[in-house]
Structure 1
Amino acid sequence: MGYRNLSPQAMVNISAPWLDPAQDRKVFTSLPLLAPLLPAVEEAREGWHLARTAVLHPI
């Protein structure tokens, strides 16, 4: 399966350790090519969580 075939939920699951200081965040930020992407990954995950919450719990 290519990365472009991942569901949003799969990408959230994959990226979770990258953002967790107790897991892979230190490694992610130590890599010069990946470190600048961290804010975009955080923003994308936050957007996904907000959208999912809005769908599951509409006002």
Structure 2
Amino acid sequence: MQDVYEFYSSEEADVICEALIEWCRSTATEPDQMLMVRAIDLYKRGNRTADQLLAALKRQLSN
């Protein structure tokens, strides 16, 4: 997840990483490139808090 901090402000990266960490805890998985790309895309689409981003990930990945 270090890559996220290289391309986004620390506030943006914190939101993305917090959502990814919670996703991984709840699903007992490790983050992969595909998950990070989806999270960044969903962040760019307006999911600006970790809770919003996590909910958007759940909606998108449960389909």
Instruction: Please give the TM-score of this superposition, normalised by the length of structure 1.
Output: 0.33
Instruction: Please give the TM-score of this superposition, normalised by the length of structure 2.
Output: 0.31
Higher relative contact order (CA 8 A, sep 6+): 2
